[in-house]
Amino acid sequence: MNWFKDNPFLAGILAVCIVGSGVLGYLTVQSVAEYSASSDAYTVAVAKLHTLQNKVPFPSDTNLRAIQAGLEDYSSHIKGLQAQLAKMEVPLDEKFTPQQFQDGLRTAVNDIRIKAEANGVKLPANFYFGFDQYQTQVPSEKAAPFLNRQFLVIQSLVVRLVDFKVTSIDGVTRVPLPQESAAAAAGQKKPAATEPVLARFPFDISFTAEQPKFRVAFNSLLGSDQFLIVRSLDIHNSVPQAPAKKSTEPAGMPNPLAGGPGTAPGKGQANLQVILGREVLKVTLHMEILNFAQPPAAKKQEP
């Protein structure tokens, strides 16, 4: 302690040095911490930059314009597909009234009976294209346009079968449309749900025809302009048993391999029997009408 009293100047300098060293150490530690934080931030920024640079495409104005052009081209192709599908659907006339549907149905029933009789095609009693309930009642206003669209498709198929002169139309059955339900007729709203892109309306057509006429009629149905799908096909042959082998060689028919005396041409021909081609087929087509919903208009995004 005496030294500090005897050398006050040196003691002051020493004190200043000690305090300065402490301050310098503190500043050094603080600078190292700030450097470390800045280095970490720089490293993160560089990593983000590399991530952006490695993205495909890189988010630049040029690539943005290229993406927008691609989206416009994709949208154009989608619209073209929708237009093509629209050509394969019977248009829905939303102004079609219930009375118009019932009147048109009655007229079509009378016309098909006249046509069937002229072509020798049998129809079931009280044949009504599968819309039997509407003989005595009109549909709801909401259901009428949808019923008419379905009826036009079924009518066209029945008319084709009659034109091909099948043996008989055995019946038409269909699954009721959603618009025919009591809730839809009363105008009750169902819980909100996403409208399906594809709507299916199944129905069955049963008819009897000879084999050649069945093939022609079936190919014609597949060539319909309407988007139809045959879900399954039931065929019952009127002659399920194969012909007996002995019946294929009628008595009195000469054997050409026997090498015996020749037989006059045509002799024994009267005994020939037709084995194939006399079968009649009972056919049931399980079909679906497909209708494609129009997608909602895309909302434009504000720049």
pLDDT in tens, 199-215: 888 999 999 999 888 88
What does the DSSP 8-state code read for residue 122? B
CA distances from 210 to 2, 52, 218, 283 (A): 136, 70, 12, 10
Do 283 and 135 belong together in one domain?
A: yes
Please spell the DSSP secondary structure of 89-139, one letter per residue: SPPP-TT--HHHHHHHHHHHHHHHHHHHHHHT-B--TT--TT-GGGGTSPP
CA distances from 88 to 84, 199, 216, 288 (A): 7, 14, 22, 13
Q: Is residue 138 part of a domain?
A: yes
* pLDDT tens digit sequence for 29-72: 677 677 777 777 878 887 877 776 666 666 678 877 888 888 88
Q: Are 177 and 170 in contact (CB under 8 A)?
A: no
Which range of residues forms the domain containing residue 15?
2-85
The pLDDT confidence band at residue 192, using thresholds 50, 70 and 90, is very low
Q: Is residue 80 part of a domain?
A: yes
Do 78 and 121 belong together in one domain?
A: no
Do 104 and 126 belong together in one domain?
A: yes
Among 21, 55, 85, residue at a domain's last position: 85
C-alpha 79/C-alpha 84 separation (Å) is 9
Do 65 and 160 belong together in one domain?
A: no
Q: Is residue 133 part of a domain?
A: yes
- Tokens 């050649």 correspond to 212
Do 59 and 113 belong together in one domain?
A: no
Do 143 and 288 belong together in one domain?
A: yes
Do 171 and 66 belong together in one domain?
A: no
Do 123 and 219 belong together in one domain?
A: yes
Residue 177: name the closest of 134, 229, 239, 240 by CA: 134
Do 217 and 148 belong together in one domain?
A: yes
Q: Are 91 and 148 in contact (CB under 8 A)?
A: no
Among 85, 120, 150, residue at a domain's last position: 85
Q: Are 161 and 207 in contact (CB under 8 A)?
A: yes
- The distance from CA 281 to its chain's CA centroid, rounded to whole angstroms, is 31
Q: Is residue 156 part of a domain?
A: yes
Among 60, 85, 110, residue at a domain's last position: 85
How would you class 149 by CB atoms within 10 Å of its CB: exposed for 0-12, middle for 13-18, buried for 19 or more? Answer: buried
What is the per-residue pLDDT for 130?
Answer: 94
CATH assignment of the domain containing 147: 3.30.70.60
Residue 225 has pLDDT above 60, yes or no: yes
Q: Is residue 247 part of a domain?
A: no
Do 237 and 134 belong together in one domain?
A: yes
Q: Is residue 213 part of a domain?
A: yes
Count of the separate structural domains present in the chain: 2
Q: Is residue 34 part of a domain?
A: yes
Do 143 and 60 belong together in one domain?
A: no
| Residue 73: both structure tokens together | 């081209």
Q: How much is the CA Rg of the chain, to the nearest whole Å?
A: 43
* pLDDT tens digit sequence for 96-126: 999 999 999 999 999 999 999 999 999 999 9
Do 6 and 28 belong together in one domain?
A: yes
